Amino acid sequence: TQHFIVIGNPIAHSKSPEIHAQFAAQTGIDISYQRQYCPDDAASFTALLEAFFHGGGVGANVTVPFKQVAYACCAARGGLSEHAKVAGAVNTLWLNTALLKNGASISEAIYGDNTDGQGLVNHILSLGWPLAGARVALIGAGGAARGVILPLIQAGIGDLSIANRTVSKAEDLACELSAASDVIDAHAISTCATSELTGAFDIIINATSIGLSGETLPLADMLTAHYAYDMMYGRTLPFLQHFAARGAQTSDGYGMLIGQAALSFERWTTQKVDVAIATAALHDKAL
Ligand code: ATR
């Protein structure tokens, strides 16, 4: 049995164990995947992670509020993938075997990747929405927004606008990412206040945390999109209702959740999973 965990605070709501159990069933790999609560401090998180890998654990996912802590932990140990570096956050960890072979200790070999943004891109592509050349608007400038920008640009989008309640955070994000990656150019990204975002976009993506708050975004009348995506999932999302009422195709972020999990599973096991089969099977279980 290969052991995996997802670390968070809170963690009881996490659907990752069921999702990975489906991948395991699909690929015939024998796994155990457990939810792991952790106190909200970096020392506890690092101690927990080290104990897990010392105990023979193969891979870990991390969720709120530990993605940045996990980034710092891996940066100081086994290293970071390009996506994790640019995102400034880690959601998937395993041991860097090359370092272990070179004599590194288990603690020194803890490596971090980020599959969130690629999970989003894969889901959008599986919906048949045209990403190549698309005019994309991204609302939000926090951790969730940061994590999807490099994968969107790598998917060949035409141009990107970032809108946020606090405009300076959108501007800072564009500059920071441009400094962190050769393929991101701050001059090619427009930024504005959410209420001032106007024009015709192909795809608009909500990466704010507003879906959880019951508030709504101040969207302009002159803002249109053919496709609207909310990275939140589960409940009725006002952002999607707004664009659906104006004729857009819409999707919540459930497919992104499965997509990022699939990429984690593939990194850990090198086995490819069928996301469509997993989505259908999990839907039948009302997950
Ligand atoms: P996450 O990791 O989910 O991205 P975050 O880093 O706290 O969380 O970022 C939250 C994002 O949602 C930010 O873009 C935030 O806007 P500000 O940068 O102006 O704070 C946005 N957000 C949260 N609550 C919001 C609200 N009530 N109205 C508009 N935007 C909101």
**One domain, residues 80 and 201:** no
| Region 151-164 average pLDDT | 97
**One domain, residues 107 and 230:** no
CB of 211 within 6 A of ligand 1: the answer is no
**One domain, residues 124 and 142:** yes
**One domain, residues 53 and 123:** no
CATH code where residue 218 lies: 3.40.50.720
CB of 210 within 6 A of ligand 1: the answer is yes
ipTM tops 0.85: yes
CATH code where residue 265 lies: 3.40.50.10860
**One domain, residues 106 and 27:** yes
Distance separating alpha carbons of residues 134 and 127, to the nearest angstrom: 15
pLDDT in tens, 52-94: 999 999 999 999 999 999 999 999 999 999 999 999 999 999 9
What's the 4 CA to ligand 1 centre distance in angstroms? 30
**One domain, residues 103 and 145:** no
Distance separating alpha carbons of residues 263 and 249, to the nearest angstrom: 25
CB of 141 within 6 A of ligand 1: the answer is yes
Burial of 222 (0-12, 13-18, 19+ CB in 10 A): exposed
User: What was the pLDDT predicted at 131?
Assistant: 97
The verdict on whether 67 is a catalytic residue reads yes
The number of distinct structural domains making up the chain is 2
**One domain, residues 105 and 211:** no
**One domain, residues 25 and 146:** no
Query: Residue 95 is part of which domain span?
Result: 2-114+256-284
Under a CB-based contact definition with an 8 Å cutoff, are residues 256 and 230 in contact?
Answer: no
Q: How far is CA 62 from CA 40, 68, 109, 159, 184, in A?
A: 12, 10, 17, 31, 26
User: What was the pLDDT predicted at 143?
Assistant: 94
**One domain, residues 123 and 228:** yes
User: What was the pLDDT predicted at 212?
Assistant: 67
| Region 213-226 average pLDDT | 93
**One domain, residues 130 and 234:** yes
- The share of the chain scoring above pLDDT 70, in percent, equals 99
**One domain, residues 45 and 87:** yes
**One domain, residues 51 and 6:** yes
| Region 166-194 average pLDDT | 96
Q: How far is CA 6 from CA 57, 58, 67, 287, in A?
A: 12, 12, 11, 17
The owner of tokens 């039948």 is 284
Is 82 a known ligand-binding residue? Answer: yes
Single-letter residue type at 80:
L
pLDDT in tens, 241-287: 999 999 999 999 999 999 999 999 999 999 999 999 999 999 877 66
Question: Model confidence at 214, in pLDDT bands (50, 70, 90)?
Answer: confident
User: What was the pLDDT predicted at 162?
Assistant: 98
What's the 232 CA to ligand 1 centre distance in angstroms? 13
CB of 213 within 6 A of ligand 1: the answer is yes
